[in-house]
Amino acid sequence: MEEQLPISILELLGMHIYLSSITLGIGIIVLFILMKSDHQFSWVKYITKSIQLLLVVIIVSFLIWVKWPFGFDIMLGPINLPTSIIIIIFLGLYSVFKPKYNW
């Protein structure tokens, strides 16, 4: 059996972002659709919320990915399952608790 070389946290994080890039792109598109349906769309709010979504989803799904307890693979074709789960939860919460004010 070959000896595994140590991997740095930055390389692991970079690989995680690469593997979940399609899922993150779909999440950003769905956020755009949700914000456009709110009829109070502005690009500044969209970019701010997109950055917040990306940071939170990458951090939380990375923690899930590191601790993945199940016996099956985390990739379902081009879709990363931990990232998909977190995006569905956060966008679902956003759609239920939409801000009623314009800031």
Assigned domain for 51 exists: yes
Assigned domain for 23 exists: no
Assigned domain for 62 exists: yes
* Enclosing domain of residue 88: 40-96
Backbone angles phi, psi at 75, to 5 degrees: -100, 130
pLDDT at 1: 59
Assigned domain for 60 exists: yes
Decide which of 1 and 54 is more confident: 54
Backbone angles phi, psi at 80, to 5 degrees: -90, 120
Tell me the per-residue pLDDT of 47-95, one tens digit each, with 9 for 90 and over.
998 999 999 998 898 888 778 787 877 788 888 888 888 999 998 888 8
How many domains does the chain contain in total?
Answer: 1
DSSP-derived letter for residue 78 is T
Task: Find tokens 């899930």 and name the residue.
Answer: 64
Tell me the per-residue pLDDT of 25-55, one tens digit each, with 9 for 90 and over.
999 999 899 888 877 788 998 899 899 999 9
pLDDT at 78: 83
Assigned domain for 13 exists: no
